[in-house]
Amino acid sequence: MAGLHRRRDFSRLAGGPADGAGRPGYGMRRAGPAAPTDKMSMTVIALVLVANLLLAGLFSLVAIAID
């Protein structure tokens, strides 16, 4: 009866880049070193976007002041 018990293949659910940006429950099976790195990269992306918006606002204010 050993043939009836097959192991599930979770190799497709590795949590790659096409996996919904690393949200939990979408293939992220491990709570190991992958989770903090992913959280850190999302924080870095958010900070870069906020800095980009601040720079755009600063440049527009400078353009208005020059005009």
Number of residues assigned to the chain: 67
Q: What is the pLDDT of residues 3-51, one digit of tens each?
A: 566 666 555 555 555 545 555 555 555 555 556 667 788 899 999 999 9
Contacts of 21 (CB under 8 A, 6+ apart): 42
Q: What is the pTM of this model?
A: 0.43
The 10s digit of each residue's pLDDT in 39-60 is: 788 899 999 999 999 999 999 9
Give the domain ranges of the chain.
Answer: 32-67
pLDDT of residue 39: 75
Q: Is the pLDDT of residue 61 over 70?
A: yes
